[in-house]
């Protein structure tokens, strides 16, 4: 067979596959792609499962740091809904004209814990004060709101400067968790939601007066404007079942549901 | 026009240090491996050759994941770090060197092996009949004849280490001056929407890559013309 013949055959195959995939996607029109901040991974998966069962729509989740997801959305990533880990980025979405117009809504209030695999290492903030460790993990404060909160807590304790040389930064809160879980960092600031259902090692729930509450906002994106599934998913976040799941994962529920 | 900040300079010097050290180590351990792969008649040598080539195919995340475990307190890296009282090799420059050596190994071994194989039996047999010792044959015949392979291997190893991202991201911990290399710095700049700075380094790397490949090609061409 000639090279040209091969190429033609390959092209036909690629084209027909693409056609088939696009047909399949259209047949299942009730689908929403959701960009989810990494801390909300477990809760979002559970909510999506319930949402799919109840509504018949499909929700496809992508995880990353809030900053990373924002950069993707600003470059036209095909998401319908953005579940950020803060209020700043959803607001930026609106300011940049990337939103569908409706205001952001707070779907969860995040909390941070200091966690170590070593059952004896953490008792209150003593571990931070004494500093008997080489590496303290946190999410990158520049891109991840949970990292920013961790930084605020260390500043409130007056330890930020002293601990700076020992900080290792995860690309998002999931990687931060992994640094501690593999024992590479002796301790780290992770999301309370990641620790729900686990009691290995030792941990300290960082008092909420040491950092700004992590109000996490969701926003409908322009890509989800005319997507029934996207709107349904966003509404489902204030459904009692979803709120039960959110609370179960250690988040505070927003009092009024709107973003203030 | 924005200037090159100390932050970027530190990433540049760190990246160059990492790539240089990695290349030197790779030439030292890659040469005997390549020689053995080129000369050995053992049936299982291709199994070793495959092992060496694996990083070509494996996603950096696979290497990064296993390295994170291997460098950590429960792995050999943790044991090793214990020799000077540390707990882990992750988040250290040394850890990055180990990761880079594994990651770039095939890029150095493969071209050198090809050059050794291209020499063929004859020059080596001729040297042997002139009573040259195996070591002498290796240093005065094989090494000079395989020069193009060493050039290609060194350049590819160096350049590939500079372009390393996934592995560093997974085991580095993003520490300025220690593990925050150029590729990670670009990633950070993009994420924090500092696109001017991202652009500055990214464009620099495009020119660097272009220059490296062009220069290597020209040098190889000249060598071939002069019959080396």
Q: B122 in the Ramachandran plot: left (φ > 0), alpha (ψ -120 to 50) or beta? A: alpha
Strand partners, A90: none
Dihedral Cα A169, A171, A176, A182, nearest 10 deg: -100
H-run or E-run covering B55: helix B45-57
| A147 vs B contacts (CB less than 8 Å) | none
* Residue A154: band (very low, low, confident or very high) from pLDDT cuts 50, 70, 90: very high
pLDDT at A103: 92
Contact between A32 and A233 under an 8 Å Cβ cutoff? The reply is yes
Under CATH, which architecture does the B6-225 domain have? Orthogonal Bundle (1.10)
* Residue A65: band (very low, low, confident or very high) from pLDDT cuts 50, 70, 90: confident
Q: Which of A184, A185, A186, A201 to mutate to test the interface with B (most CBs of B within 10 A)?
A: A184
Q: Could you tell me the pTM of the whole model?
A: 0.79
Residue B141: partners with Cβ closer than 8 Å, 6 or more residues away = B119, B123, B124, B127, B132
- Determine the straight-line distance between the first and last CA of chain A, rounded to whole angstroms: 67
- How many whole angstroms from its chain centre is CA A194? 11
Count contacts between A and B (CB, < 8 Å). 64
Closest CA to A166 of A122, A132, A140, A135: A135
- Rounded mean pLDDT, A107-127: 93
* Residue A4: band (very low, low, confident or very high) from pLDDT cuts 50, 70, 90: low
- Rounded mean pLDDT, A74-85: 92
ipTM of the shown complex: 0.77
Of B87, B88, B191, the CB nearest to A71: B191
- Rounded mean pLDDT, B133-151: 91
pLDDT at B6: 86
Statement: residue A2 has pLDDT above 60: no
* Residue B26: band (very low, low, confident or very high) from pLDDT cuts 50, 70, 90: very high
Indicate where chain A has its CATH 3.40.190.10 domain(s). Answer: 29-109+216-248, 112-205
Closest CA to B224 of B75, B115, B96: B115
Statement: residue A26 has pLDDT above 70: no
- Domain residue spans in chain B? 6-225
| Check whether domain A112-205 has CATH 3.40.50.300, yes or no | no
pLDDT at B84: 86
B71 touches chain A (CB under 8 A): yes
Contact between A38 and A173 under an 8 Å Cβ cutoff? The reply is yes
A166 touches chain B (CB under 8 A): no
CATH of A29-109+216-248 given 3.40.190.10, 3.60.20.10, 1.10.357.10, 3.40.50.880: 3.40.190.10
B52 touches chain A (CB under 8 A): no
Helix, strand, coil in percent for chain B, rounding step 5: 80, 0, 20
């Amino acid at each position: 067979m000639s090279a040209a013949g091969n190429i033609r055959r390959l092209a036909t195959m690629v084209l027909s596959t693409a056609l088939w995939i696009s047909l399949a996607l259209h047949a299942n029109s009730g689908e929403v792609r959701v960009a989810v901040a990494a801390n909300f991974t477990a809760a979002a998966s559970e909510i999506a499962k319930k949402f799919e069962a109840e509504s018949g729509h499909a929700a496809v989740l992508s995880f990353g740091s809030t900053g990373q997801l924002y950069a993707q959305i600003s470059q036209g990533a095909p998401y319908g809904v953005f579940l950020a880990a803060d209020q700043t980025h959803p607001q930026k979405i609106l300011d940049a004209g990337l939103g569908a117009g409706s205001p952001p809504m707070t779907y969860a209030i995040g909390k941070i814990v200091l966690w170590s695999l070593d059952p004896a290492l953490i008792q209150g903030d003593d571990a931070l004060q004494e500093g008997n460790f080489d590496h303290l993990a946190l999410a990158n404060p520049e891109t991840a709101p949970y990292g920013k909160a961790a930084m605020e807590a260390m500043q409130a304790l007056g330890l930020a400067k002293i601990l700076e040389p020992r900080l290792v930064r995860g690309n998002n809160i999931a990687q931060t968790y992994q640094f501690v879980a593999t024992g590479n960092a002796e301790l780290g600031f992770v999301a309370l939601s990641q620790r729900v259902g686990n009691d290995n090692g030792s941990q300290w729930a960082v008092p909420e007066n040491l950092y700004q509450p992590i109000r996490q906002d969701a926003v409908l994106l322009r890509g989800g404007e005319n997507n029934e599934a996207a709107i349904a998913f966003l509404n489902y976040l204030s459904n009692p079942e979803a709120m039960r799941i959110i609370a179960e994962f250690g988040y505070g529920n927003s009092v009024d549901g709107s973003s203030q | 026009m924005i200037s090159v900040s100390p932050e970027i300079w530190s990433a540049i010097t760190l990246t160059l240090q990492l790539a240089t050290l990695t290349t030197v180590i790779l030439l030292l351990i890659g040469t005997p491996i390549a020689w053995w792969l080129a000369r050995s008649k053992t049936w299982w040598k291709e199994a070793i050759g495959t092992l060496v080539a694996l990083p070509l195919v494996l996603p950096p995340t696979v290497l990064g994941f296993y390295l994170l475990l291997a460098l950590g307190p429960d792995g050999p890296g943790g044991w090793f770090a214990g020799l000077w009282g540390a707990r882990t090799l992750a988040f250290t420059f040394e850890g990055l060197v180990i990761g880079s050596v594994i990651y770039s190994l095939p890029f150095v071994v493969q071209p050198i092996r090809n050059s050794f194989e291209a020499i063929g039996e004859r020059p080596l047999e001729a040297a042997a009949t002139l009573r040259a010792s195996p070591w002498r044959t290796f240093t005065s015949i094989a090494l000079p004849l395989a020069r193009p392979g060493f050039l290609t291997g060194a350049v590819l190893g160096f350049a590939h280490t500079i372009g390393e991202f996934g592995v560093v991201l997974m085991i580095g911990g993003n520490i300025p001056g220690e593990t925050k290399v150029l590729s990670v710095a670009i990633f950070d700049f993009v994420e924090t929407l500092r696109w001017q700075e991202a652009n500055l380094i990214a464009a620099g790397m495009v020119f660097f890559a272009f220059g490296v490949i062009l220069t290597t090609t020209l040098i190889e061409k000249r060598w071939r013309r002069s019959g080396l």
